[in-house]
Amino acid sequence: MPGEFDLIARHFRPLAGEGALDLGDDAAVFAPPPGRALVAAADAMVAGVHFLPDDPPGTIGRKLLRVNLSDLAAMGAAPLGYLMTTAFPKGTPDGWVAEFAAGLAADQREFGIVLLGGDTVSTPGPLTLSLTVLGTVAPGAALRRAGALPGDDVWVSGTIGDGALGLRVLRGALPADPAGHLAERYRLPRPRLALGAALAGLAHAAMDVSDGLAQDLGHLCRAGGCGAVLDSAALPLSAAAAAALAADPALLPLLLTGGDDYELLFAAPPGARGAVLAAAAGTGIPATRIGRFRAGPALATVLGKDGAELPLPRGGWSHF
Amino acid sequence: MPGEFDLIARHFRPLAGEGALDLGDDAAVFAPPPGRALVAAADAMVAGVHFLPDDPPGTIGRKLLRVNLSDLAAMGAAPLGYLMTTAFPKGTPDGWVAEFAAGLAADQREFGIVLLGGDTVSTPGPLTLSLTVLGTVAPGAALRRAGALPGDDVWVSGTIGDGALGLRVLRGALPADPAGHLAERYRLPRPRLALGAALAGLAHAAMDVSDGLAQDLGHLCRAGGCGAVLDSAALPLSAAAAAALAADPALLPLLLTGGDDYELLFAAPPGARGAVLAAAAGTGIPATRIGRFRAGPALATVLGKDGAELPLPRGGWSHF
């Protein structure tokens, strides 16, 4: 494996944007866009915990970047740049790092974001990555987790459960869907930046679904001081997820609690239904009403197809 | 070990500053100080690589924070906030995390910085930390690595070699100094923020010494397109380091290449000597002239006490 400086120069310097000073200084320096508030989030991923060690190298950095971008989307923010630290196991092949960086380059183009800085170290443990994303939002316009009101609709973007099913497929616990949709959704989340931005001023509260839909709806409930009822029959499913569920209805709790969705979960008043659907249509990102916030204890209740409360085996995915 | 959410609530939420939204949202939101450029740096640390697994928990987070603050100091920037991701080995005791967080709290008070966000995950590997620091600097005033001119003095702040000697002491390879100065310097770098800020407009080029003085001086040479001669007899040494060197003169190359100094290394014209010393006196951070930049190949040459070039066993500390 090449040395730290050589590796940075060959693989990461080409990702550096304005302000990164070619990764040759002690820090990045840049002027924040005038008149905007700054938004910052950080996430870490560990091989074998947050991604599979044999995932394609080109998807691993992208997953981390997209998980962070999903946090920006949940705040209605626009991406600006990122800093990344990488702890590579000794002996990581140079070609692996090249593929890893090529994936990031593709996503930088897709999401209009640049590398601002970081650090590259070695570890005797598993590959461990950390990424801090910076973005901007109009002052006062950030979407927050708090704000859902009784009577608001519960909305979710895209489809739910694909990531959790994809992980099962990749582990051999579920038959693969022929098109590879589920595995692809596990490996490459789709940050809903355009929809998040369009929801500013429209949604009362928002977050991204990372720990499982049921648990994350519970977060919105606690932040808003109200309850929610989720109708599992209304869950938006991809064709692949719907087929998996039809083949094994016992998968429903996994879809609701499995995590790795990175969809937007948000509250909006019934009067905004038309505007939400217009925002969805305008951004090409579907939005589906899946329930209602209600007065009462700050709990998310999930109803099964029979209208009775669905018992869920656990509250979601905790990293411990 | 408690769950991720409980751990964040009890140990990290008390560190959260304005803009962090109590760590309860998907991202931090804050207004950048008007009229300032933003500065951002990120560093990672792995147990057994960048710190000793049995270092006191209260020093480990502080070391990472200070290493990052040292990057801000090298740019002449003032600290604003930080985001931190922690990958804890399963079974990390709650008391360990409490001490870790208490150390960060002490440093937040000392350096006037707050936690803005982050992520807490578990790892089957060693404790792995990553921190992104954000700061500000007057537009155009950031110190850069490029800019040293032939004829400029080479300056360094504080004392050199303590960190490298401290690591040897902690590993039992050197007798301990009675006051524990060397080990303390290894565990708790002293970011030279006040001096860095005072050098803006005075120094032609600057960086912090993290990889070893000789190697880092080589970085300033390459960035400036000139050479440098360093007089090892002029090295500023602590009493403990001077005693260690007197007992074993063969330690000199370690002092020059060992790293973990986190002092400022900078270039300033001879006409600025008085101003540099005044900045040092005004901030209480010593600065010592240790050599001269010169025309020629972009190499740092170190002279021994006899005035002959001192051969150095390696170019510094690379993390691979």
User: Average pLDDT by consecutive 10-residue portion of chain A (320 residues)?
Assistant: 79 93 93 95 96 94 97 98 97 95 97 96 97 97 97 98 96 92 96 97 97 96 98 97 96 95 98 98 98 97 93 57
Same domain, A291 and A161: yes
Show residues of chain A in contact with B132, CB under 8 Å.
40, 42, 83, 132
| B22 is annotated as contributing to ligand binding | no
The pLDDT of residue A317: 43
Same domain, B105 and B221: no
Contact A228, A153 (CB under 8 A): no
Range of the structural domain that residue A196 is part of: 153-303
Same domain, B126 and B157: no
Q: Does the predicted interface ipTM exceed a cut of 0.90? A: yes
The pLDDT of residue A5: 81
Show residues of chain B in contact with A208, CB under 8 Å.
26
Residue A249 has φ and ψ, to the nearest 5°, of -60, -20
- Could you tell me which of A105, A65, A114, A70 has the C-alpha nearest to residue A86? A65
R_g (Cα) of chain A, nearest Å? 20
- The helix (H) or strand (E) run that includes residue A199 is helix A193-199
Query: Looking at the complex, does the CB of residue B137 fall below 8 Å from at least one CB of chain A?
Result: yes
Query: Looking at the complex, does the CB of residue B52 fall below 8 Å from at least one CB of chain A?
Result: no
In a domain, B320, yes or no: no
User: In chain B, which residue's Cα lies nearest the Cα of A7?
Assistant: B320
Same domain, B170 and B128: no
Q: Which of A137, A171, A192 is the last residue of a domain?
A: A137
CA angle, residues B15, B45, B9, in degrees to nearest 5? 25
Same domain, B244 and B289: yes
Same domain, B60 and B189: no
- The helix (H) or strand (E) run that includes residue B116 is strand B114-123
Query: Looking at the complex, does the CB of residue B96 fall below 8 Å from at least one CB of chain A?
Result: no
**Whose structure tokens read 């400029």?**
B152
CATH number at residue B176: 3.90.650.10
Q: Count CB neighbours of B139 within 10 A.
A: 11
User: In chain A, which residue's Cα lies nearest the Cα of B34?
Assistant: A34
SS3 content of chain A, % helix, strand, coil (to 5): 40, 25, 35
pLDDT of B303 over the 90 cut: yes
User: Rounded to an integer, what distance in angstroms lies between the CA atom of residue B77 and that of residue B74?
Assistant: 8
Contact A275, A141 (CB under 8 A): no
Residue A284 has φ and ψ, to the nearest 5°, of 75, 15
Same domain, B123 and B72: yes
CATH number at residue A105: 3.30.1330.10
User: Rounded to an integer, what distance in angstroms lies between the CA atom of residue B142 and that of residue B37?
Assistant: 9
The answer to whether the Cβ–Cβ distance between A38 and B25 falls below 8 Å is no
User: In chain B, which residue's Cα lies nearest the Cα of A49?
Assistant: B123
In a domain, B209, yes or no: yes
Residues with Cβ < 8 Å from B214, sequence gap 6 or more?
B230, B256, B257, B300, B302, B312, B315, B316
Q: What is the dihedral of CA A134, B18, B132, B74, to 10 degrees?
A: 110
In a domain, A308, yes or no: no
The answer to whether the Cβ–Cβ distance between B118 and A42 falls below 8 Å is yes
Query: Looking at the complex, does the CB of residue A32 fall below 8 Å from at least one CB of chain B?
Result: yes
Q: Which of A137, A161, A179 is the last residue of a domain?
A: A137
Using DSSP, state whether A291 is helix, strand or coil: strand
Q: What is the mean pLDDT of residues B109-126?
A: 96
The answer to whether the Cβ–Cβ distance between B121 and A319 falls below 8 Å is yes
Which of A11, A29, A92, A145 is the mutation pick for testing B, counting most B CBs within 10 A?
A29
CB-count exposure of residue B202 (10 Å: 0-12, 13-18, 19+): middle
Same domain, B121 and B179: no
Query: Looking at the complex, does the CB of residue A46 fall below 8 Å from at least one CB of chain B?
Result: yes
Same domain, B250 and B210: yes
Kindly state the greatest CA–CA separation across chain B: 62
Q: Which of B137, B167, B191 is the last residue of a domain?
A: B137
The pLDDT of residue A319: 39
DSSP, res A103? H
In a domain, B179, yes or no: yes
Same domain, A73 and A128: yes
Same domain, A294 and A174: yes
Same domain, B48 and B106: yes
In a domain, A181, yes or no: yes
DSSP, res A250? G
* Residue pLDDT, tens place only, B168-196: 999 999 998 989 999 999 999 999 999 99
| B177 is annotated as contributing to ligand binding | no
Rounded to the nearest angstrom, the minimum Cα separation between A174 and chain B is: 26
Domain count along chain A? 2
Using DSSP, state whether A183 is helix, strand or coil: helix
Strand order in A205-208's β-sheet? A205-208, A264-268, A153-157, A287-294, A227-231, A300-303
User: Rounded to an integer, what distance in angstroms lies between the CA atom of residue A10 and that of residue A16?
Assistant: 11
pLDDT of B305 over the 50 cut: yes
Show residues of chain B in contact with A318, CB under 8 Å.
3-5
The answer to whether the Cβ–Cβ distance between B318 and A3 falls below 8 Å is yes
In a domain, A87, yes or no: yes
- Could you tell me which of B54, B29, B123, B135 has the C-alpha nearest to residue B85? B123
**Percentage of chain B exceeding pLDDT 70:** 97
